[in-house]
Structure 1
Amino acid sequence: MSDTPTTSPPPKLSAVWVIPLLAALIGAWLVYSNLSGKGPTITLTMENAEGITAGKTTVKTRNVQVGLVENVRLSEDLSHTLLTVQMQAGTERMLVEDTQFWIVKPRVDREGISGLSTVLSGAYIELLPGTGGKPPRAYAVSDVPPPQLTGDGLFLTLISDVGSSVDTGDPVNYRNLRVGRVVDTQFDPDEKVFRHQLFIEQPYDVLVTQTSRFWETSGLGFKLGAQGFEAQIGSLESLIGGGVSFAVPDPNMSLGPSAQDGDTFTLYPDQEAARRALYSQTLDYVLMVQGSVRGLRPGAPVEYRGVRVGTVETVAWGFGYEGPSSMQQNPVPVLIRLEPQRQAQRTEVSMSRWRTEIAAMVDGGLRASLQTGNLLTGGLIVTLDFHPDTAPATLEETYRSVPIFPTVDGSGISKIEDQVNTLLTTLNSLPFNDIANNLNHNLDAMTQAAESLDALVANPALNSLPQQAEKTLVALQEVLESWRGDQNSAAFREIQSTLQKLNQMIDRATPVLETLNERPNALIFQDSAAPDPQPRAQ
């Protein structure tokens, strides 16, 4: 038997270990795939989590999902909610300092109805990528979409006083044509003004110039002033939510250079205020009105022979500023503003020339007076016209450093009131009681006369009178017919003989009557005196 040792074959790897190894490799690949497919985790803050559900609410941009809300919790001070959002891979470049988030849900506002797609799917968070900057520790989620600050067009800023009704989403119109929209509205508590940001779309941005003026439009407006009743009706969109309109209010004014991106304009309450703001060069004067100024309102026109040349700025300007005693005898000061640019039809005018020429016109008899602008409303206007018969006057006298424009008593509403008062006084002095008593007495007498007439008409004898008159006329007609038919009767011959004798008598008496008509004393004196006897010669 041999002592040579024998070698055994090496052990083989059991197939049982292949399955766990393969599972480990797949798990590692899944972990790697999951980690590599995830983006950064961010935190969002909201006032409340209405409509937000962890594991369901998504984050989208341009309707593409880029993240998912994984957790919803309250902040430590319980003042707001915190959302933990897992973003997808490749979204890091979207998350910068000016990235904006807002909640998308069904909403009805001035821009219309939006977010209807979320009625069934639920609300989601919209992301607007930023342009740069270091990402913050948390992003705030807004309840409304941010203003759209990108696009082809012109961005402007409007400043308005407190009380403006313009809001984000309102249309911007040029002569009732929608050319843009209000994209943002903010209130400045320091200056106490509103700042509205407008976006004017191309190609309408060329319509905005440095001479353009902006004013509010309410869609439907009514105005009852000295010039009558005015109604303004805008588009349906502005009728529902209001809006902003712009134009060069005076077509005679030059348009000026085009507006630039970021320019600031003033928002005026109406078109007339915008038109007045267009006239930057003005001349101020004061009217010292002796009578009443009832019916005269700020904004009333100042006219020269029917053409508007200015505006009433302030009624009772500084009246009584020296104390109540100064109001007893002093006239009422009215501040007016002449606007030369209305007539010059130019952006710039020579103010020194206008002052000199107006002073010469006043020296020639130009005077101001209050006239009735509208009998229905009782509104007054200021009219300028020449009155050469008035006393001489100049513009050298001033009131609170403003020249006093000479005035005359016009045929305004005060004179009409005086005439009405005189008429009412005359009417009150009439004896209406006596007139009423006499009228009642006359009515009673007329009633009695009517009753007597009714009784007379009802009398049978009066009713038979027409028949008796008819019988008499018939008998007379028969007599005349009998005379006409029987000319040989004795009665007819007697009447004819009488008529012939009457004619003869008239013929004989005619000369006598003519003589008496010429000489009434012919019956006493002879017709002519006898001639004197003439002696005869021997």
Structure 2
Amino acid sequence: MTGPEPAPLDVSPARPSVWRNLSFVWLVPILALALSLGLAWRSLADRGELIEITFANASGVTPGETELKYRDVVVGTVETVTFTDDLEKVLVRARVDKKVAPYLDTDTEFWVVRPQVTTRGVSGLSTVLSGVYIEGSWDKEVVGEPLVQFAGRDNPPLVLPGREGTRITLVATDGSLITEGAPVFFHGIEVGRLERPRLTVSSDAIVVDAFIQAPHDRRLNSATRFWDTSGFNVSISGAGLSVDFDSLSSLLAGGIAFDNVFEGGKPVSPGHVFSVYEDEASAKKSLLEEPKGAVVEVAAEFGETLSGLEPGADVRYGGIRVGQVTSIVAVVDDTSDGPGVRLMANLAIEPERLGLPAGSGPRETLDFLESATGRGLRARLATKNLFSAALIVELAEVPDAAQATFRRDATPLPVLPSVKSDLPDFTATAEGVLERINALPIEELLDQAIRTLGSIEAIATAEGTKAAPDAVVALLDDTRALVNDEATKALPGELRAAIADLRAVVSELREGGAVASLNETAASAREAAGSVAKATEGLPDLAARLEELVTRAGRLISAYGDRSDFNDETLAALREVRNAARSVSQLARAIERNPNSILMGR
């Protein structure tokens, strides 16, 4: 008996392992692939953000070459340069460092750096060799989500983001006073810059933003005034002609200066609006001319031409500005002789400048004007200054003014009485000057000048004048020869020897007592001279008597005949007596003048 047969076994061959056939040789390419993938991923992760910047033009910007810099450090590279969809702008795509990307917010600005020559100097010279690049500027704070689209600037910003200071607004009526990039000075030191000027909505003024750097921005307050420093000012005063300008840079490029015109100004907030004045004098004068409170309008009627008076002209009282002219109108009146025209100037008066209390209204102002009119207050025209034809309205108290009233109830405005102005007649003055010029003896002066020139020419061409230089040269030669002569050179030695001999003689005389003897002799001579002087005091009388005797004898002898011998002899004797008397008189005068002459001789 056989047992059951075993069941057949299902035997399958063993599946070979994948790793069994894997050789170590394959590890090299696998590792290389993994390394490549890792490097690729790292490169993609580190290449940064792609941003878009639009410019008006992209002159010099090259894809793959133009760099994006921040503080002269490369932080990115331009990848593509193309146009926007509407072809209005140039679209530049640049890849920036991922460390920088989070800081790109609304304050970020980009501009292309190129060589540029402006009134402020030369910039961008480094790009001549390295090529243009894009400069970026942003602050150090991360605010909100980073941006990837930006509008580039055509020019570098005057104030970089993050710079400490205060931004204010300046307003000027004349655009020539403001230029973009002009410096702002405080006491001659540059403390800020002006940005691009722009027109107001009504186009009646120029507005420009200015940035004042810290810590100088703390000087800004309600007492601050700005003025233009471009150009120069020429003024004539009692001290003479003076030319004033702020600095050479402001003279060439323009500029704005500011200062505080009074103490105790209140602080101002960023964005405060300041006016720009023509010069420093106008800025300081504005303290007296700025409106104070409400104004009261009145009118002044003039019976003369108002040529030169314009709206905005000053109204002055006692030399102080108290208002301004608002308009000039002509009023037509119907009279029996036909229509008549009256010229009137409307005035805006500031009550506080008239000396009225603060808060005074129209009633108090009109009461003051009515009372002042009774005391002789009148409106009259006056010139603004000596060298200007512009007119102003002056409120002056005229003592001998004709009786007039203040028409308080006149319409549309109360009317101030006026008097005729004493403006100079420039036409008559000019005619007078021309007449005086015509009356000048021009021809006679020219003839005299011609004769004078002829005389000068004759003197210059004379032989003596021509020979004068030769004579001077000869004189100099003779002088030089005299100085160089041996005898002249020996004179100092001879003089020294003579002085030495004289000193020796004086010394001997002093030692021998000669000086004392001379003093005694001089004293004796002085006494003798005194005696002689006393003796000769009677000589003048004696001479007078002899003269009288001769005269009498002459009259006596004349009785004996002119031709007798007695007469001739007597006349001869008289002549001798007269000569003797004259000699005695001369001797007396000589002794009187010099009594010592009797002893010492003449």
TM-score, normalised to structure 2, is: 0.57
CA RMSD of aligned residues (A): 4.6
- 1:363 counterpart letter in structure 2: G
Quickly say closer, same or farther: Cα 1:162–1:376, change in 2 above 3 A.
closer
Match of 1:70 among 74, 79, 83: 79
Structure 2 partner of 1:486: none
Q: Distance in 2 between matches of 1:229 and 1:289?
A: 37
Quickly say closer, same or farther: Cα 1:419–1:49, change in 2 above 3 A.
closer
- 1:72 counterpart letter in structure 2: V
Match of 1:291 among 292, 298, 304: 304
Q: Spell out, residue by residue over 1:225-279, the C-alpha distance to the aligned partner (whole angstroms, 9 max, x if none).
A: xxx9996623323222223334455x5xx74421112323344556638556623
Q: Distance in 2 between matches of 1:345 and 1:163?
A: 38
Match of 1:140 among 119, 140, 151: 151
More strand by share: 1
- 1:151 counterpart letter in structure 2: R
Structure 1 partner of 2:567: none
Q: Distance in 1 between matches of 2:192 and 2:332?
A: 48
1:279 and 2:294 are equivalent in the alignment? no
1:356 and 2:367 are equivalent in the alignment? yes
1:238 and 2:250 are equivalent in the alignment? yes
Quickly say closer, same or farther: Cα 1:109–1:355, change in 2 above 3 A.
farther
1:319 is paired with a residue whose SS is: strand
2:36 is paired with a residue whose SS is: helix
Structure 2 partner of 1:384: 395
Q: Distance in 1 between matches of 2:331 and 2:242?
A: 35
Match of 1:158 among 141, 150, 170: 170
* Pairing of 1:327-346 with structure 2 (within 5 A): 329-339=340-350
Alpha-carbon deviation of 1:135? 4.9
Alpha-carbon deviation of 1:118? 2.2
* Pairing of 1:76-225 with structure 2 (within 5 A): 76-129=85-138, 131-135=142-146, 138-146=149-157, 147-148=159-160, 150-160=162-172, 163=175, 165-174=177-186, 176-189=188-201, 194-221=206-233
- 1:52 counterpart letter in structure 2: V
Instruction: State the identity as a percent.
Output: 30
Q: Distance in 2 between matches of 1:151 and 1:95?
A: 17
Please tell me whether the aligned partners of residues 372 and 413 of structure 1 are also in contact (alpha carbons under 8 angstroms).
no
Structure 1 partner of 2:414: 403
2:43 is paired with a residue whose SS is: helix
Please tell me whether the aligned partners of residues 333 and 342 of structure 2 are also in contact (alpha carbons under 8 angstroms).
no
Q: Spell out, residue by residue over 1:321-365, the C-alpha distance to the aligned partner (whole angstroms, 9 max, x if none).
A: 899xx997434223445556567699x564565553343222111
2:341 is paired with a residue whose SS is: coil
TM-score, normalised to structure 1, is: 0.63
- 1:93 counterpart letter in structure 2: P
Please tell me whether the aligned partners of residues 219 and 239 of structure 1 are also in contact (alpha carbons under 8 angstroms).
yes
Q: Spell out, residue by residue over 1:405-461, the C-alpha distance to the aligned partner (whole angstroms, 9 max, x if none).
A: 2212232224x757888x79x99xxxx9xxxxxxxxxxxxxxxxxxxxxxxxxxxxx
Please tell me whether the aligned partners of residues 184 and 198 of structure 1 are also in contact (alpha carbons under 8 angstroms).
no
Please tell me whether the aligned partners of residues 179 and 204 of structure 1 are also in contact (alpha carbons under 8 angstroms).
yes
Q: Distance in 1 between matches of 2:115 and 2:183?
A: 21
1:318 is paired with a residue whose SS is: strand
Q: Distance in 2 between matches of 1:62 and 1:327?
A: 82
Q: Distance in 2 between matches of 1:349 and 1:245?
A: 34
Q: Distance in 2 between matches of 1:419 and 1:164?
A: 36
- 2:215 counterpart letter in structure 1: P
Q: Distance in 1 between matches of 2:76 and 2:48?
A: 9
Q: Spell out, residue by residue over 1:170-207, the C-alpha distance to the aligned partner (whole angstroms, 9 max, x if none).
A: 22234544332224544455777544222222333233
* Structure 2: unaligned runs, 5 residues or longer: 1-18, 440-557, 563-602
Structure 2 partner of 1:525: none
- 2:214 counterpart letter in structure 1: Q
Q: Spell out, residue by residue over 1:276-312, the C-alpha distance to the aligned partner (whole angstroms, 9 max, x if none).
A: 662334454433221233444556554445x333455
Please tell me whether the aligned partners of residues 157 and 262 of structure 1 are also in contact (alpha carbons under 8 angstroms).
yes
Quickly say closer, same or farther: Cα 1:354–1:79, change in 2 above 3 A.
closer
Q: Distance in 1 between matches of 2:328 and 2:242?
A: 28
Q: Distance in 2 between matches of 1:207 and 1:396?
A: 49
Q: Distance in 2 between matches of 1:37 and 1:63?
A: 21
Alpha-carbon deviation of 1:39? 0.9
Q: Distance in 2 between matches of 1:357 and 1:405?
A: 12
Structure 2 partner of 1:490: none
Please tell me whether the aligned partners of residues 332 and 339 of structure 2 are also in contact (alpha carbons under 8 angstroms).
no
Name the count of aligned residue pairs. 418
1:21 and 2:34 are equivalent in the alignment? no
- 1:291 counterpart letter in structure 2: E
User: Which structure has the bigger radius of gyration?
Assistant: 2
1:245 is paired with a residue whose SS is: strand
Q: Spell out, residue by residue over 1:135-172, the C-alpha distance to the aligned partner (whole angstroms, 9 max, x if none).
A: 55632221112344543332222344574542432222
1:70 is paired with a residue whose SS is: strand
Please tell me whether the aligned partners of residues 320 and 327 of structure 1 are also in contact (alpha carbons under 8 angstroms).
no
* Pairing of 1:423-442 with structure 2 (within 5 A): none
Please tell me whether the aligned partners of residues 111 and 153 of structure 2 are also in contact (alpha carbons under 8 angstroms).
yes
Quickly say closer, same or farther: Cα 1:290–1:127, change in 2 above 3 A.
same
Quickly say closer, same or farther: Cα 1:398–1:53, change in 2 above 3 A.
farther
Q: Distance in 1 between matches of 2:25 and 2:332?
A: 110
- 2:371 counterpart letter in structure 1: A
More helix by share: 2
Please tell me whether the aligned partners of residues 215 and 246 of structure 1 are also in contact (alpha carbons under 8 angstroms).
yes
- 2:302 counterpart letter in structure 1: V
Q: Spell out, residue by residue over 1:37-71, the C-alpha distance to the aligned partner (whole angstroms, 9 max, x if none).
A: 21111222222220111111111222222111122
- 2:330 counterpart letter in structure 1: F
